[in-house]
Structure 1
């Protein structure tokens, strides 16, 4: 049992020490409103051990700093951390509450019990029969190095910049107020490549001029980046809305689309053309709401219509032989997008769609013959999303 002593404002406990209990670390944020890195080191050590159990690389010294910086901005709320292995809450006074997922806690307790047999009660060393009600199933976290790189991103200047007191101000490379660039310093090409994929997942469009790389967004990405730093995963709503279809999955879905030489094609909610890149460019229409993404598609040479797909589908007279799509999943929107796409087919046409795994074998699209692929686990890096491919042929 944990209680707060009102007069001293310090936490005490009369429970046996075990990882199944809530841990309370005082002064994680000190009186100077900065992180106490000695105490942050305790949390970093715990994350290292949990990473070992997960088969994940260990966080480096200092990798816990960005996590606590986000918690300092988000006090008073519980958040899932590191794919759900931890739950944490920070208070304004700097006290941090930490809970370990039950499936992870018993492993940690077993290690302690092997070192100190009399210290940990047997009840804490037993594998739990059921998942903890407060905890979600583990996610598939991103590498710590990628998360740290994302946490250090800086704003790309959108106004003239004077780099030297004697020179004229240089015009900015972009006027976008939400543009970001990577921080200075050495970085692994593999880590940067993975970070760039994550930025694309949350709507970032990559630009490169004279070897300088930056990303433009149509919204401030800081909140989404904070979610990634906390959870270690891409928020599902963002991933479903913006994530470009992985190349391997795009190849699968376009092969199943069975596109012939005479077929006219459509990719709804095309993003930056992850699927359309594998379709016949001269016969493929892309519908996309984002102005930024439309410019990318036009630069690739696609026939582009800038519109909200559902609104456009309800008004257009155009019809297609093949529709290939990866619709947004959040809030069940995949079904409305799938139904709208099916209504745009010519007689004998076919819609091929990437859908959430839970859609498999559901009765939908009257007048169509449905075929389902196997469930594809963890289809999107950094998320727990599993998908299935539907091939629906109009009778």
Structure 2
């Protein structure tokens, strides 16, 4: 029994893990609602190998899994040590530079689905590398890439799905859009 004015001890709470990422990584965390829409733009859940290059904090991977995609069919690539370690809780991660990895596996790896939020400064290099890995992989449906890119990015195969407001990212005022590229 407590005395008058005595307060019961508080339960210990676990706070969220905070990871500090250097600005040079250009890790812009995709908001949950944007990530969910990007997953919807990929198409229905199925047995599709899906690539998330430059996986960052795993927002797109989490949205894929939340929508019913299997983590076993997901390939995440991340070069930042702490982020790669955190991503391993979600599923398999290749710790390294996506551009280097894409060059290594070109012609040997094919992904029917790619979802990405590439570094904006090198968006063209990352998109070119991702498109070199986009292929149907034995499926009848077109291979699909969905990406969040700066509004200035243009590609002849790209379908513009939506332009996002400039306050989409809490850390930067970047004008972005979601695009989709399909290949048969």
Tell me the TM-score normalized by structure 2: 0.78
Matches within 5 A, 1:176-255: 211=14, 215-217=18-20, 238=23, 241-255=26-40
Larger helix percent:
1
User: Among residues 31, 41, 44, which one is paired with 1:256 in the alignment?
Assistant: 41
Given the alignment of the two structures, is residue 356 of structure 1 paired with residue 150 of structure 2, yes or no? yes
Paired with 2:38 and 2:15, the residues of 1 have a C-alpha distance of: 34
* Aligned counterparts of 2:86 and 2:55: Cα–Cα separation in 1: 11
Would you say the 8 A contact 1:319–1:344 is kept in 2? Answer: yes
SS at match of 1:242: coil
Partner of 1:371: 159
Q: 1:64-120 CA distances to partner (integer Å, 9 max, x unpaired)?
A: xxxxxxxxxxxxxxxxxxxxxxxxxxxxxxxxxxxxxxxxxxxxxxxxxxxxxxxxx
SS at match of 1:324: strand
Larger radius of gyration: 1
Unaligned 5+ segments in structure 1 are: 1-208, 220-237
- Structure possessing the higher relative contact order (Cα contacts under 8 Å, 6 or more residues apart): 2
Give 1:323 shift.
Answer: 0.3
Report if the CA contact (8 A) 1:285-1:304 is conserved.
yes
CA shift for structure 1 position 259 = 4.3
Alignment of 1:77-226 (within 5 A): 211=14, 215-217=18-20
Q: TM-score, normalised by structure 1?
A: 0.38
Task: Count residues with an aligned counterpart.
Answer: 160
CA distance in 1, matches of 2:103, 2:30: 25
Instruction: Verify: 1:329 aligned to 2:123, yes or no.
Output: no
> Any stretches of 5+ residues in structure 2 without a counterpart?
1-11, 137-141
Counterpart CA distance in 2 for 1:326 and 1:283 is 19
